[in-house]
Structure 1
Amino acid sequence: MKTFSHSILATLCCYSTLASAQQEAIKEIVVTAARSAQTVDETLASVTVIDRQDIERSQATTVAEVIQKTPGVSITNAGGLGKSTGVYLRGTAAKDLLVLIDGIRVGSATLGQVAFEELNLSQVERIEIVRGPRSSLYGSDAAGGVIQIFTRKGAKKFTPSLSVSAGSDQTRSANLNVRGGNETLWYSLGASAVSTDGFDAKIGDDDDKDGYKNQGAHFRVGTYLEGGHQVETFFSMTDSDNEYDGWTNQADALSKVLGVRGLVSLTDNWALNVTAGRSWDKTKNSSNGVFSSAFNTQRDSISLQNDIHLGSNLLVAGVDLQRDKVESSNDYAEDSRLNKAIFAQYMLMAGSSDVEFSLRADDNEQFGTHTTGGVAWGIPLNDRIRFAASYATAFKAPSFNDLYYPYGGNPDLVPEESDTFELSLKGEYAQVNWQAALYQTRFDNMIAWTPDAGGNWTPSNVNEARIRGLELEAGYQLNDWLFSGNVALLDPEVSSGINKGNRLQRRASQILNLNVDRQLGAFSFGATLHAENRRYTSNANTDHLGGFGTVDLRAAYQLTPEWLVKAKVANLLDKGYQTVKGYNQPGTEFLLTLAYQPR
């Protein structure tokens, strides 16, 4: 696939890597959008890349905080660090977002979504965010997009790093990472710990602080073999203890991912990728120390993928196998399911155009066969502007809770279905890199939990919805100043039933992010503005949460070539707001960090 040398860098939407020369940044490789390696300017999808340098510059403490600055992303959080967190991408629900860690699908099979509060930012090397459906490559869960998290990778020499932080609400953290390697072997090992006393998260309940703590560890080891072959294995885990208000008020959660990946170069033009792994999501809930419930889910997956170069074109084809298992203190009618899938994508050059065709068939033993597809076309309009258009279908399978939860599941549910059109422009003008995207998504058979005649909440395929959106983003470098920003305008509408014409609940319709950073010798500083308008608490639109805007400040000073001190003030103006009804968000917070980071 050819390179469009003046396209916008996918990294501009957030903490921009504009400090690197454009010639270097243009060569940056992404793998999530097409399940194969592309430079950021080759991909026809809307992609955001956040690397370790961006994470360090942001001084973020959670994965959700990092990705919140991505165009079209809105976060829900039930009371601060460690509390239940959901990500709404382009107006789609949190359950419509597929999350991968090093290529392994993660999340709760009972809830059907990922607990973002349990993702450990200290383990992250890089995040790729694909905005828009990818079911034709990944199957269920990818109706809204895909977030792939890559854990820390090795280095060519022994490189230790560590950091310690302290801040508001008795928040403390420590991270240690060791990387190394040589021409044939590389490794990365790390451990972390975070704790906070928290604050009174829930309004009108127990007047107490709701604390949180976790411990994490990870390793990733790989080797290069003769003939161009590669093998790596990886493991990551987070073990947490959470306090909150409610009928149950304590939760112990354990998340783990274990995997192995191999790359076999069969010929100069044919590579076979093999990935196998298991993810665990375990939660035990208690009330004042007395056991209440437990939900343990396990996902086993195997993927065989062929990348075959046919001249200047590329065929990607393979099979995916996934088995979900559930163990719980509640009795589910079914506790496992197997999903088998075949997929293919053909990327070709047609004159000055790039064209992509993708098709996938999923066969699930609970809801049968489902086929999705996509087509995308991109063409340069001139030497500075590129146009792309795409259409894709997607689906979301019902979760175990939707189907079999003992207190209200519905085994007759069918998968949600959707289709999306998108038009986009990317370009550069007067050293300003910019991108604009216009899209529309329609959902059928949306699953909603509603009360029946007896007042019991049960799920059913009742809703249809239509989401329209416009995203604008730009980035600019002026000497040592970096400027970037984005705005998203959304119209997420219920299009059937008694709430027809209302906005979908928990979705903001206007989202703004502005970032500025400055390097001044050994000193650097920056600021971020994040703003959203109001969101409704139900599809009936009878109650809403007010809009808000927060300002964060950050600064860092390089004490020596290895030692760095950093400071951050979040929510500088002490804005009071909620993203989930009845749950406070933190006021002004302070964080001081001392880091050892050899170059």
Structure 2
Amino acid sequence: MYNLKPTSTLILFFFSVAVFAQEVTVLDADTGIPIDNIAVFNKDQSKTTVSDANGKINLDVFSDDEKITFRHISYETFITTKSQLAKRGNRVYLHQKTEQLQEVIMSVSKWEQQKKQIPQKVETLDDRSIAFTTPQTSADLLQNSGKVFVQKSQLGGGSPMIRGFSTNRLLLSVDGVRMNNAIFRGGNLQNVISIDPFTVKKTEITFGPGSVIYGSDAIGGVMSFYTKQPHFSYTDSLTITGNADYRFSTANNENTAHIDLNFGQKKWASYTSFTYNNFDDLKMGKHGPDSYLRNNYVITENGTDVLVANDDPRKQVVTGYDQLNFLQKFSYRPSSTWKYDLGLYYSETSDYSRYDRLIRPSRDGLGLRSAEWYYGPQKWFMGNFQITQKGKNKFYDGVKLTTAYQFFEESRHDRGFQDVELYSTKEKVDAISVNLDFENKKIGNFRLYYGAEYVFNKVHSSGSVKDIETDEVERTASRYPDGATWQTLAGYVNSEYQIKPNFSLLSGIRYSQVWVDAEFEKTFYPFPFDEADIVTGALTGSLGFSWFPWSDFQVTLNGSTGFRAPNIDDIGKIFDSEPGSVVVPNPDLEPEYAYNGELGLRKNFNDVLVLKGAAYYTYLVDALVRRDFSFNGETEIEYNGEPSNVQAIQNAARAYVYGFEFGLDAYFTENLSLTSNLTITEGTEEDDNGTDSPARHAPPLFGDAHVVWQNQKLKADVFLNFNGEVSNEDLALSEQSKDYIYASDANGNPYSPSWYTLNFRSQYQITNALKASVGLENITNQRYRMYSSGIVAPGTNLILGVGYVF
């Protein structure tokens, strides 16, 4: 027998409690805030307990491997065991039920607003829906929404189209910082792929002009990406959590690996993310136009270009590439009112071919025009530092200072078939931005937002030509005037007035001043001007309301204006726009303006059926378009050794775009639902000479329909994607000249055929920490091209994924 003293007995008692007692903390998955009144019970409810005000629950009454249920009226039910919780650090993260959420929108004012009070159409995609759709890139993320049309010239790309506008008439924003820079072009862009979908917490797509908040470029819409934030700890100890994911797909032999780690204490937190993608050449479908097949391609043997037959014409040689993404965030919260955030973002691709240029036929139609046409690595870095203060103040209830530096790098390399000269241009952009945004909601039901913005861009551009036989490199004309700058200073006021509980009025106004400065080098081209010095201003505004005449019926009406100021790409670019044409600088440009009206309706039938619809009309004046031009009195000049028709960007057109958007959500049972979307867009461009032509970026009718079944562990989705036809007479003139990317109609003219795909995706929660996903896209193996796209879409594509939470 051992004789224990009272002190020893007390120590042993506390030691036993520490070893055998198990206390868990229940937190909101989105905010990290503890949740009280969570009911916890076993299968027959013979054992029960409830979380306290700090979200803590003692689980001593349960055995280690006993199934335990966590339930709350506002959260999704969660089932686990004590042993599984111990492996996860004794923390439970619960997701709010969709129907319990009063959806909050950030992009319309840069502060939180209730979606139901916003008159503009705004669609949101959260991280759970993004993880379920398993997009390869953020371009695919947008396309999977069913509400954005995405064009692709190559696998490493994706250019969104919204309401008949694209590229530099749409604005990209990442964590409140505009991504658009001074060389965002009117041709198709692939900058959106620099955003890693694994790091996206939420994406908000605002339809229609957003110039009051975002200034230049936000004519057709705004795509706001909000990346994941570090989570603080709500205990005195350091918490470490993380995720690891792997994905494989057969259409391009994709291998994607991702890992992220979160370190959190009460006052500081860190989030680190890394993703690597490897994509092989993309394989198209089996059933479709034979003209889409890649029958031959160019290789270089012993220094000589040779046209060879493709062993597998459905394989699109060369389209594969690699990409890596890195994100590091730090948050420091010294008090409940102050918060400091630092974000470091980096993305880089390998070289990747521009596929639509590689399939251009030679002038005699017997071969291919290019031996090489590829982009160099696309690089993007952003450092974003944000200070936020919340709390009552004489002039504001919240203030947010956002400063950011961005670096962009891109390059283009092309060489004609059996040509020894490889032409290259390389561009770098340094971008600095400062935003100061205020929130004030002190005056009853009147809420005011106001702020200022300054943006500065500097462009570095160079050109070279390399003799591939001798390796000699010579300087040649750059794509843009080297050292050109673009800057803007703006101030805005935006207000929200809750006139009645069922009627909200929103209005805003912004003034932007823009300066463009570029000096033209005359070494290679005898420009009839020395510089471009453009100073211009723009006043934009918006006014709209959200009205609930009945609790289950919403009417929204909104009028707004938008603008786009000329950038360096507009005034100073030299490039081959299409076969036989070259674009030259034009320093005599003015901003283009858009006037937009939108009506939206939403009807809820007893939470069983929800119907949504929107109609809009946009009028664009002084439109910046590419048209024939004369250079020193000449309509044709030599470019890269070829005689080329001269074109330039000009304020030479007006555009009319209108359309209808429909949505349906049906809830048959607790587990079974149906969602569907349909978008119809029509657009016309009218030149100053009165000539009409279809708008280039107005996509065909498109939509989707999803039948979804889900329970706590399994979610399965059978869905249909479809696109309408674009006949030859409805193709824009610039598209009709690209007959090599289109099918031929009965008369031998290019057109874009209609198409559909049948698809399936699923996700199964194997354990609380481990999940697996299986998808099968394009089950019927259709061979199709998205409208205006160079690359052909994937054929039947098996997608496998696995994710682990630790």
Is 1:412 the counterpart of 2:588 in the alignment?
Answer: yes
Q: Distance in 2 between matches of 1:494 and 1:111?
A: 21
The answer for the alignment partner of 1:5 in structure 2 is none
Shift of 1:223: 2.2
Number of equivalences = 577
Shift of 1:511: 1.4
Report matched runs for 1:110-149 at 5 Å.
Answer: 110-112=183-185, 115-149=191-225
The answer for the alignment partner of 1:398 in structure 2 is 566
Q: For residues 332-363 of structure 1, what are the alpha-carbon distances to aligned partners after superposition, in whole Å with 9 as ceiling and x for unaligned?
A: 06611221001111211223421112110111
Q: Distance in 2 between matches of 1:460 and 1:108?
A: 20
Question: Is the deviation greater in 166-175 or in 496-505?
Answer: 496-505
SS at match of 2:663: strand
Q: Which has the higher contact order (CA 8 A, sep 6+)?
A: 1
Q: Distance in 2 between matches of 1:516 and 1:187?
A: 39
The answer for the alignment partner of 1:335 in structure 2 is 484
Question: Is the deviation greater in 491-500 or in 372-381?
Answer: 491-500
Match 1:472 to one of 651, 662, 678: 662
The answer for the alignment partner of 1:572 in structure 2 is 779
Q: Distance in 2 between matches of 1:287 and 1:463?
A: 31
Q: Distance in 2 between matches of 1:346 and 1:250?
A: 44
The answer for the alignment partner of 1:242 in structure 2 is 351
The answer as to whether partners of 1:186 and 1:221 remain within 8 angstroms in 2 is yes
Is 1:549 the counterpart of 2:756 in the alignment?
Answer: yes
Q: 1:440 to 1:232 in 2, by over 3 A?
A: same
Is 1:57 the counterpart of 2:132 in the alignment?
Answer: yes
Shift of 1:37: 0.9
The answer as to whether partners of 2:178 and 2:214 remain within 8 angstroms in 1 is no
Is 1:313 the counterpart of 2:520 in the alignment?
Answer: no
Q: 1:497 to 1:532 in 2, by over 3 A?
A: farther
Q: 1:450 to 1:581 in 2, by over 3 A?
A: farther
Report matched runs for 1:286-305 at 5 Å.
Answer: 286-287=413-414, 292-305=424-437
Q: Which amino acid aligns with 1:436?
A: G
SS at match of 2:130: helix
Report matched runs for 1:527-542 at 5 Å.
Answer: 527-535=718-726, 537-539=731-733, 542=736
Q: 1:71 to 1:446 in 2, by over 3 A?
A: farther
SS at match of 1:398: coil
SS at match of 1:381: strand
The answer for the alignment partner of 2:334 in structure 1 is 225
Q: 1:56 to 1:266 in 2, by over 3 A?
A: closer
The answer for the alignment partner of 2:160 in structure 1 is 87
Is 1:422 the counterpart of 2:598 in the alignment?
Answer: yes
Report matched runs for 1:10-25 at 5 Å.
Answer: 21-25=97-101
The answer as to whether partners of 2:151 and 2:789 remain within 8 angstroms in 1 is no
Is 1:166 the counterpart of 2:248 in the alignment?
Answer: yes
Q: 1:114 to 1:142 in 2, by over 3 A?
A: farther
Report matched runs for 1:373-392 at 5 Å.
Answer: 373-392=541-560
The answer as to whether partners of 2:513 and 2:538 remain within 8 angstroms in 1 is yes
The answer as to whether partners of 1:107 and 1:114 remain within 8 angstroms in 2 is no
The answer for the alignment partner of 1:503 in structure 2 is 694
The answer for the alignment partner of 1:279 in structure 2 is 406
Q: Structure 1: give runs of 5+ residues left out of the alignment.
A: 1-18
Q: Distance in 2 between matches of 1:582 and 1:308?
A: 48
The answer as to whether partners of 2:429 and 2:460 remain within 8 angstroms in 1 is yes
Match 1:345 to one of 490, 494, 518: 494
Q: Distance in 2 between matches of 1:522 and 1:388?
A: 38
Report matched runs for 1:170-185 at 5 Å.
Answer: 170-185=253-268
Shift of 1:94: 2.4
* Larger Rg belongs to: 2
Shift of 1:479: 1.3
Q: Distance in 1 between matches of 2:224 and 2:445?
A: 27
Shift of 1:537: 4.8
The answer for the alignment partner of 1:482 in structure 2 is 673
Question: Is the deviation greater in 416-425 or in 446-455?
Answer: 446-455
The answer as to whether partners of 1:525 and 1:556 remain within 8 angstroms in 2 is yes
Q: Distance in 2 between matches of 1:520 and 1:319?
A: 47
Seq. identity, %: 16
The answer for the alignment partner of 2:170 in structure 1 is 97
The answer as to whether partners of 1:220 and 1:232 remain within 8 angstroms in 2 is yes
The answer for the alignment partner of 2:537 in structure 1 is 369
Q: 1:379 to 1:243 in 2, by over 3 A?
A: closer
Q: 1:132 to 1:549 in 2, by over 3 A?
A: same
Shift of 1:468: 1.0
Shift of 1:87: 0.6
Q: For residues 72-107 of structure 1, what are the alpha-carbon distances to aligned partners after superposition, in whole Å with 9 as ceiling and x for unaligned?
A: 421101233x1x321110111222111111111113
Shift of 1:57: 1.3
Match 1:491 to one of 663, 668, 682: 682
Q: Which amino acid aligns with 1:345?
A: N
Is 1:447 the counterpart of 2:624 in the alignment?
Answer: yes
Give the structure-1-normalised TM-score.
Answer: 0.91
Q: Distance in 2 between matches of 1:364 and 1:343?
A: 15
Question: Is the deviation greater in 185-194 or in 507-516?
Answer: 507-516
Q: Distance in 2 between matches of 1:491 and 1:559?
A: 46
Question: Is the deviation greater in 370-379 or in 449-458?
Answer: 449-458
Q: Which amino acid aligns with 1:165?
A: R
Match 2:797 to one of 585, 589, 592: 589
Is 1:326 the counterpart of 2:464 in the alignment?
Answer: no
Is 1:40 the counterpart of 2:123 in the alignment?
Answer: no
The answer as to whether partners of 2:152 and 2:790 remain within 8 angstroms in 1 is no
Q: Distance in 1 between matches of 2:485 and 2:537?
A: 17
The answer as to whether partners of 2:677 and 2:704 remain within 8 angstroms in 1 is yes
SS at match of 2:165: coil
Is 1:438 the counterpart of 2:615 in the alignment?
Answer: yes
